[in-house]
Amino acid sequence: MTRRIKVLIVDDSAVVRQTVRQTLEREPDIEVVGAASDPLFAMTHMARDWPDVVVLDIEMPRMDGLTFLKKIMAERPTPVVICSSLAEAGAAATMQALAAGAASIITKPKMGVKQFLEDSANDVAQAVRAAARANASRLVPRTAPQPPAPKLSADAVISAGLGSGANMVRTTERIVAIGTSTGGTQALEAVLTRLPAVCPGIVIVQHMPERFTAMFAERLNALCALEVREARHGDRVMPGRALIAPGGKHMMLARSGAQYTVEVVDGPLINRHRPSVDVLFRSCAKFAGRNAIGVIMTGMGDDGARGLKEMHDAGASTVAEDESTCVVFGMPKEAIRLGAADCVLPLDRIPAAIMKAS
């Protein structure tokens, strides 16, 4: 019999602790080994029985969840699922938690938490399972963001013939589409911070809840040489700009004459996700074809694998992240299995591959 996933719940709300415990204990593959009202009580428990996954609140007495998360990742990297409020301040704290190494997020409202968690029972269990499969060592954040590689910011600009208005039109014909999920917040940071200010326009789907993508984009924008922001309907895809699909919306590439734009639309969950990588990749295959570069990185499941195959078949250059650097080798593995990837590369080689294909 497969060993059950051991989970520790850390939240100062007794209602949340009880509801999450009851939700997880219904799952045959999950065992709740404890519930603590704050990180100090949690540390006492973890000294006796270290869990496979920690479900962690952010705002708590005696020690806040962000400080506790950093302590866990420094001492013994362990997958952590953040269970946070949808309040704006909480969303900002959640972005910091993702940067510190959290595996994923469960959003919760300030009111009606018990009913919300009961209604989201399947999502809570799936978040724990995804975290348990994560390579915890890959969740540990880098000590400092690495600047764009000098070779890329020089050689890539010259080889692409960038600089004049005429050459800029040629550059807009090349677009980069990136899809990622669990572990993707750090993977995107690793890739985007290594790209020069003048690089092909980038469109990104990162599986993330509504209201979190704007703050995630703002954080990346502060770290990167290129402009990074949450996409708006009709935004132009242009060199030096990366557009991140808003949580809760699908994003598709569209073409208007010689220019590319994005369409941000409602729609059903695709592969249980909205935004969906498959939706973005299919639109890139349809409207960009051989002028596109597709990249699929760390994530659970198979969203994006078929879309990358469509891009590949349409003549696009395609890349899958290697298992050695993935937090979860799910989406890239499925893409590789389908024959969708021209090359399989570790994370630190993906920026150079993007610039080489540009």
Which residues does the annotation mark as catalytic? Answer: 181, 207, 303
Cβ atoms of 299 and 281 closer than 8 Å = no
Helix (H, G, I), strand (E, B) or coil at 7: strand
**Integer Cα distance of 301 and 234 in angstroms:** 30
Which residue bears the tokens 């990104």? 204
Structure token digits, residue 131: 């975290």
**Integer Cα distance of 236 and 228 in angstroms:** 13
Q: How many residues does the chain have?
A: 358
The vertex-104 CA angle with 144 and 124, nearest 5°, equals: 165
**Integer Cα distance of 203 and 299 in angstroms:** 17
**Integer Cα distance of 301 and 305 in angstroms:** 9
Angle between helical axes of 65-75 and 88-100 (0-180°, round to 10): 10
